[in-house]
Structure 1
Amino acid sequence: MENYIISLKDPSGNVGGPKANMDNIKFLKEQMGFKELWLDYGWKDGFWWHHNLWDWINTRIHKYQLSRSVLPKFFKEHPDIDNVVIQYPLYSNKLIKQITDSVHQNSHAKLYFIIHDAEMIRLYADEPKRAQGELDSFNLSDGIIGHNAKMNKFLKEQGVKVPLVDLGIFDYDNPQPLQEYKGYDKSVCYAGNLIDAEFLQDVHPTNRFDLFGPNPAERYNEGLNYKGQFSPTDLPAHMDENFGLVWHGTSVDTCDGVFGRYLKWNNPHKTSLYLSSGLPVIIWDQAALADFVLENGVGITISSLNDLNDKLDALTEEEYRQMHDNVQKVANQMRTGYYITHAMEKMINN
């Protein structure tokens, strides 16, 4: 069986964006024999928007070459491919259409998507024309691996007609040792781009609360400690807290804004960072992944960060120890690609 996974080349550095893509490639290559196929748009600095006219022209040229020459030629030369997987989004409905045509006209392969972001839920929520364009792209596939049951339910309600499989949660290739149990001191960490974490200005912890990531504020409240920025593979070695926090937006009362509301449907990758490192999580109770956290006993849910101190005080050391033990199983599964390989096997076998 010959399988290919198509991904968009991203030159980003110490940010988590490309990490999930790279991990999917690694696990599907190791576990299922996939081969990788990279698309290069000629982007600079990892940004998908254009700094100037030349960047825009350069990207257009790269996309034209891919759609009219590179991809058709590749699939003509590989007629025996069985399955092609696109790591979505590719930020071009036209290119997806060209890939679809190239696959179906030159091979008998099935074409599947792994969704990293569904913009019809996130950025296109109030742009029906662009949302329809994405919906049309989804329905060109033979099946889609979505983040979780809530995302897939939403996509189906919006008009996705192809089979949908739940990923469950993103895997995380984590080379650092799993965090060993060191007792319960009610400590918390938050990792991410801190420019997007305005809610931290209203957090008043009574226990240690450590922050990791780029763009820290000039000043934080007492108890909030900035610990620096590290690569996605190095960061777990610097986290020794009891919990990792999954939250987004400007408010401590709820997750708000475009990206905060998106938590109701997506699998934030920082959840996988924490769990794969051995840390239980604290997550917004309306987040889609709250179900996974409770079902697997790997953390606690919370409606408002104003309740954080009381929640941590109410938790016994025995209860925390059980959460920590539960995380070990999930972490080991993530580190070996359990979730993406099982979802892919289910999709292909369907």
Structure 2
Amino acid sequence: MTKVILTVKETHHDNNAGPKAKIDIENFLLKDGFEKWNFTINQESVLQKAKVAYIDVPRFLAKQNDIDEIFLQYPTYSKIVTKQLVKRLQQMNSKIILIIHDIESLRLHYGEKGYIDEELRVFNMADGLIVHNAKMEKWLRDNGVTVPMESLGLFDYDNKIKLASGSNYETSVCFAGNLSKAGFLEKLSLKRVKLNVFGPNPLEKYGANIVYKGQYPPDELPNYLKGNFGLVWDGTTPITCDGLFGNYMKFNNPHKASLYLSSGIPVVVWRQAAIADLVEKMNIGIVVDSLNELDEVLPNVSSIDYSELVNNAKEVAEKLRSGFYIKTAISNLEKGLV
């Protein structure tokens, strides 16, 4: 059986983890015998994206044949490229599966009926979807998506850095991300817990016990992460996860969680986040309603309990580093596509 992993890449990116999730999935599947198809778009050029959509895609696909399954990493961040890709792929007599990284109807256009209808039409044109989790699948089903779906569980993460030892419990936490989107840090101060912050666009000054530790490329970042827990949080306040991105956490599996877990670091997540169910079930972290709970909750974690969290996180890390979750999701989905 011939399988292809199809990824639309952008011409440039900074030290952010955006492209890493797609690159890692591509690399894991290449090791599993997949062929690789790539197109490159320039987000600053509408003309170049139109060329990719209407010239490059048809010309390339016209030369391909005898492909059984094509896995498209979605979204491509270009509507015209996405529509033309799916339209042309449908003409190839191959199974088309979308690997969902983000659903823009949930992330940026929540409640916008016109946008939602358009995006869900694309999903229903595929033969199957790999989605983040059961809550994302339920939302899609409730809103009219009818094709087979399989939950990923966690995003695999190619991490070659030595696992964190987890030997000393110091009630410390690390947070990595685009700090311009981490408004909650502006209002957070801690007394008994130390928070180490990594990423671009730091504040000039942070609250008590919050220390900025610099910015590193995604592949190097695990080498610098210092903290007993990795924080998965979004929004403008430490009290809850709010706004569009906070609401999105009710449906998605943040790639940030995989960064920490692939390093052997347990996580702290919002109780209402979709990923909280998995964190509790696998015992790989702690769930809280508010970051104001950290000063009370973390000092009460015993060394024995923390060791168990670390051991569980390390077991998950080995799976994340091998592409276990994407390979398993594909295998399970294929059983329903016969």
The one of 262, 265, 269 equivalent to 2:248 is 262
CA separation of 1:136 and 1:93: change in aligned 2, threshold 3 A = farther
Asked if the contact 1:124–1:131 (Cα under 8 Å) also holds between the matched residues in 2, the reply is: yes
Name the amino acid aligned to 1:30. K
1:115 maps to what in 2?
100
* Partners of 2:208 and 2:79 in 1: CA distance: 48
1:164 maps to what in 2?
149
CA separation of 1:207 and 1:68: change in aligned 2, threshold 3 A = closer
1:286 maps to what in 2?
272
Q: Indicate the percent of aligned positions where both proteins have the same amino acid.
A: 42
Given the alignment of the two structures, is residue 42 of structure 1 paired with residue 42 of structure 2, yes or no? yes
Name the amino acid aligned to 1:117. D
Asked if the contact 1:246–1:271 (Cα under 8 Å) also holds between the matched residues in 2, the reply is: yes
* Partners of 2:181 and 2:211 in 1: CA distance: 17
Please state whether the residue corresponding to 1:283 is helix, strand or coil.
Answer: strand
1:207 maps to what in 2?
193
1:140 maps to what in 2?
125
* Partners of 2:177 and 2:306 in 1: CA distance: 24
- What pairs with 1:62-77 in structure 2 (closer than 5 Å)? 62-77=48-63
Name the amino acid aligned to 1:260. G
* Partners of 1:67 and 1:242 in 2: CA distance: 46
* Partners of 1:213 and 1:139 in 2: CA distance: 37
Asked if the contact 1:93–1:134 (Cα under 8 Å) also holds between the matched residues in 2, the reply is: no
Please state whether the residue corresponding to 1:188 is helix, strand or coil.
Answer: strand
- Residue 279 of structure 1 and its aligned partner are, at CA, apart by 0.4
- What pairs with 1:1-350 in structure 2 (closer than 5 Å)? 1-10=1-10, 11-31=12-32, 33-43=33-43, 55=44, 58-59=45-46, 61-105=47-91, 107-205=92-190, 206-350=192-336
- Residue 340 of structure 1 and its aligned partner are, at CA, apart by 0.6
Deviation larger for 3-12 or 251-260: 3-12
* Partners of 2:165 and 2:25 in 1: CA distance: 26
- Residue 37 of structure 1 and its aligned partner are, at CA, apart by 1.6
Asked if the contact 1:143–1:163 (Cα under 8 Å) also holds between the matched residues in 2, the reply is: yes
* Partners of 2:269 and 2:72 in 1: CA distance: 29
What are the Cα deviations for residues 206-229 of structure 1, in whole angstroms up to 9, with x where unaligned? 232100000110001121111000
- Residue 9 of structure 1 and its aligned partner are, at CA, apart by 1.2
* Partners of 2:289 and 2:273 in 1: CA distance: 10
Please state whether the residue corresponding to 1:347 is helix, strand or coil.
Answer: helix
Please state whether the residue corresponding to 2:76 is helix, strand or coil.
Answer: coil
Name the amino acid aligned to 1:35. E
* Partners of 2:180 and 2:80 in 1: CA distance: 33
Structure 1 portions without partners, runs of 5+ = 44-54
* Partners of 1:326 and 1:91 in 2: CA distance: 35
* Partners of 1:339 and 1:112 in 2: CA distance: 16
* Partners of 1:34 and 1:346 in 2: CA distance: 17
What are the Cα deviations for residues 156-204 of structure 1, in whole angstroms up to 9, with x where unaligned? 1011111111000101000100111322111111111111111112222
Root mean square deviation, CA, Å? 1.3
Asked if the contact 2:20–2:218 (Cα under 8 Å) also holds between the matched residues in 1, the reply is: yes
Please state whether the residue corresponding to 2:41 is helix, strand or coil.
Answer: coil
- Residue 104 of structure 1 and its aligned partner are, at CA, apart by 2.9
CA separation of 1:209 and 1:70: change in aligned 2, threshold 3 A = same
- The number of residues matched between the two structures is 334
